[in-house]
Chain A
Amino acid sequence: MAAKVSVSPTSLLNQIVVPGDVVLDLSNMNNQTIKLGSGLLQDNDAISAMRAGKLSYSKPNKYWLESSHKRYIPRPDDHVLGIVVDSRADNFWVDIKGPQLALLPVLAFEGGTRRNIPKFEVGTLLYLRVVKTNIGMNPELSCTEASGKAALFGPLRDGFMFETSTGLSRMLLNSPTRPVIEALGKKLSFEIAVGLNGRVWVNATAPRIVIIVANAIMNSESLSGTQQRIMVEKLLAIISD
């Protein structure tokens, strides 16, 4: 009943592992430095999985677990969609679907000064960047890039926001573009903002386009690339009739 230790570091790559699985045996890897990402833990000479997910690897030496969950764990430089839940003198409290509410300082905007403090009502949807995620502290957000420019960040007006799993939102942001977005983009014009926290905002000229795009994205999570294209074709055929 003891844990089965993988002999080679490649045996479990791109395989689904669950908590307790030993994914790497360090005793077989001499003079190698490896970097462990989320979901993995070193226990003496063994690297074990701490949650269920796909073991991923990137050259030269990075290992991590790719997993999909409803809850979001904030990481620095993640782009997220947040909802303002409270407004204070020095900062806004923003819900980013994480363990705690996040802080958005009133000066964390392009050219932010005491004179031109933005006013956001409770419920405003914002596209934000995670700046700090220190243990034991609320995450800190910003509406600017590292350079101080606003770029894409800021309030998202109109449109429709829906929630997905963190895995799907990561897939939507991956390169190359996810087939469902590519197929929809060829036939329909719409705006989309995807947060790594599992929130997606869609805006278009007509409400039916928004509904089709939202439904297509939500249904695409468990479909392969070909299945996604077929689904989009069927949806577009329905609205063209």
Chain B
Amino acid sequence: MAAKPGAATPTYSPKIVGRSRLPIFKDSDLDWSRPDGRGFHQCRPALLQTGAVSSASGSAYAEFGNTKVIVSVFGPRESKKAMVYSDVGRLNCNVSYTNFASPTLGQGTDHKEYSSMLHKALEGVIMMETFPKTTVDVFALVLESGGSDLSVLISCASLALADAGIMMYDLITAVSVSCIGKSLMIDPVTEEEGCEDGSFMMTCMPSRYEITQLTITGEWTTPNINEAMQLCLDASSKLGEIMRDCLKQSASASDE
């Protein structure tokens, strides 16, 4: 079915249907409502599950609203590359998107920036000295991108590492906040991320009250940063409890 040398290669593209849609945010601050009907300080419902991938040492599946991710942890295992001796372990993180993760077709790619940020968030919580000369591989796959992808990935990766039995100081939870106008919105969806003035993401260890990563982009005032931090800390402690319950359930199931 090859095309003739002179002829143009046939292509097809999805038909774009014009849809009349109300703007997400109206002009007045007071009239704003979120696309999914949540309050400004309300997170999406979270579904967490461990042991999703049977071939991995540990794995977890997370679903926060429309954001669906799956993380697999392999190792500790001997490094494939002939690297120099290291008395601490190595952490290798890879974040990729499926082709169908976002409405734009054919966008399934490795996300280098997210991979780096996931590594930064996790390396502070893992006891690297417990697996010298070896590597722990964390492979994260975004099945559906519905906003706040990185924060969901980090929380899910933490759960997968705990499921794999990797020694950790604590679980880590990540929460993101968007600043739109004068309002702060916790756990933003894709539409909100598209028109935000600034984003704030905090990764912390809820039990130890320590922050492993803090990312701020865009325009922020000091009072807004303080408020966002309080929102994130509060949400992190609640998310931490959900993650703990999930781990305890899976541990007790295998312990009976």
- Is B146 at the interface (CB under 8 A from chain A)? no
B132 near A19 with CB under 8 A, answer no
Q: Chain B residues with Cβ under 8 A from A68's Cβ?
A: 251, 254-255
Question: Which of A50, A70, A135 sits near B57, CB closer than 8 Å?
Answer: A70
- Is A36 at the interface (CB under 8 A from chain B)? no
- Give the total of A residues in contact with B, Cβ under 8 Å: 35
- Is B248 at the interface (CB under 8 A from chain A)? yes
- Is A2 at the interface (CB under 8 A from chain B)? yes
Question: Which of A22, A67, A99, A222 sits near B75, CB closer than 8 Å?
Answer: A99
* Binary flags per residue of A1-42, CB closer than 8 Å to B gives 1, else 0: 111000000000000101111100000000000000001010
Question: Which of A18, A70, A168 sits near B171, CB closer than 8 Å?
Answer: A18
* Binary flags per residue of B140-183, CB closer than 8 Å to A gives 1, else 0: 00000000000000000000001111111111000000000000
A71 near B57 with CB under 8 A, answer yes
A167 near B255 with CB under 8 A, answer yes
- Give the total of B residues in contact with A, Cβ under 8 Å: 44
- Is A145 at the interface (CB under 8 A from chain B)? no
Question: Which of A16, A20, A67 sits near B208, CB closer than 8 Å?
Answer: A20
* Binary flags per residue of A68-112, CB closer than 8 Å to B gives 1, else 0: 111100000000000000000000000000011100000000000
Beta-carbon nearest neighbor of B253 in chain A: A222
B58 near A69 with CB under 8 A, answer yes
B247 near A99 with CB under 8 A, answer no
Within 8 A of B (CB), among A112-136: 135-136
Q: Chain A residues with Cβ under 8 A from B253's Cβ?
A: 222
Provided the pairs A52-B247, A69-B164 are in contact, do residues A165 and B133 lie with their beta carbons within 8 angstroms? no
- Is A224 at the interface (CB under 8 A from chain B)? yes
Question: Which of B76, B87, B169, B255 sits near A50, CB closer than 8 Å?
Answer: B169
Query: How many angstroms between the C-alpha atoms of A68 and B162 in the bound complex?
Result: 11
A20 near B205 with CB under 8 A, answer yes
B87 near A51 with CB under 8 A, answer no
* Binary flags per residue of B75-106, CB closer than 8 Å to A gives 1, else 0: 11110000001010000000000000000000
Q: Chain B residues with Cβ under 8 A from A222's Cβ?
A: 253-254, 256
Query: How many angstroms between the C-alpha atoms of A22 and B170 in the bound complex?
Result: 10
Beta-carbon nearest neighbor of A70 in chain B: B57
Question: Which of B85, B132, B162, B233 sits near A52, CB closer than 8 Å?
Answer: B162
A20 near B171 with CB under 8 A, answer yes
* Binary flags per residue of B236-256, CB closer than 8 Å to A gives 1, else 0: 110000011001101111111
Interchain residue pairs A-B with the least CB separation, the first 4: A20-B170, A20-B207, A69-B165, A99-B76
